[in-house]
Amino acid sequence: MNTSEEVRQFILSELINGTGSVDIDDETELIESGIIDSLGIMKLLTFIETKFAAKIDESELMPENFHSIDAIRALLNRLNNN
């Protein structure tokens, strides 16, 4: 499974579990749609940091970096390259 797919699976199973069938593509707006709320983001951060062994610096903790699967993938790429 590639990064985007792993993030998608996590979101589907952990952030919107039990809320029916939701389609999430790489550009689906995760914040405005309410899929990620203020507690959901903590869950997502913990997932990203443990699953991908990534350390997200305070300066990267921006809504822009988590608003879609594409944005999360781009963040992870950046972290890997650093």
Binding residues for another protein, rule: CB under 8 A, are 14, 31-32, 34, 37-43, 45-46, 49, 55, 58-59, 61-64, 67
Closest approach of another protein to the CB of residue 44, in Å = 11
- Residue closer to another protein by CB (options 5, 63) is 63
Closest approach of another protein to the CB of residue 21, in Å = 20
Closest CA to 11 of 58, 19, 32, 79: 19
Closest approach of another protein to the CB of residue 29, in Å = 10
What sections of the chain are H helices per DSSP?
Answer: 3-10, 40-51, 69-81
C-alpha torsion angle, residues 12, 15, 19, 24 (rounded to 10)? -40
- Residue closer to another protein by CB (options 10, 73) is 10
Measured between alpha carbons, how far is 29 from 67 in angstroms, rounded to an integer? 6
